[in-house]
Amino acid sequence: MTGTTHDGFFTPVSGVDLPRFAGIPTFMRLPHVPFDHARFGEVEIGLIGAPWDGGTTNRPGPRHGPRQLRDLSTMIRAKNGATWVAPFELCKCADLGDVAPNPADLMDSLDRMEAFYAKVKAAGVVPLTGGGDHLCTLPILRGLARGGEALGLIQFDSHTDLNDVYFGTGKYTHGTPFRRAVEEGLVDPKRYVLVGIRGTAYGREDWDFAEANGIRIIAIDEFHRRGPEDVMEEVRSIVGTKPTYVTYDIDFVDPTFAPGTGTPEVGGPNSWAALLVARLLKGVDVVGADLVEVSPPFDTVGGTAWLGVNLMFEMLCVMAERVAERRG
Instruction: Indicate whether 166 pLDDT > 60.
Output: yes
User: Is residue 161 a known part of a binding site?
Assistant: yes
User: Is residue 111 a known part of a binding site?
Assistant: no
Distance between the two ends of the chain, CA-based, in angstroms? 12
Q: Please, which pLDDT band fits residue 110 given cuts at 50, 70 and 90?
A: very high
**pLDDT at residue number 6:** 66
User: Is residue 157 a known part of a binding site?
Assistant: yes
The Cα–Cα gap between 45 and 38 comes to 16
User: Is residue 299 a known part of a binding site?
Assistant: no
Instruction: Indicate whether 2 pLDDT > 90.
Output: no
The pTM assigned to this predicted structure is 0.96
**pLDDT at residue number 147:** 84
Which of 136-139's residues contact partners 24+ apart within 8 Å by CB, and which partners?
136/50, 136/52, 136/55, 136/290, 136/292, 137/177, 137/178, 137/181, 137/245, 137/247, 137/290, 137/292, 138/110, 138/172, 138/177, 138/178, 138/180, 138/181, 139/109, 139/110, 139/111, 139/112, 139/113, 139/114
What mean pLDDT is predicted for residues 52-57?
94
User: Is residue 134 a known part of a binding site?
Assistant: yes
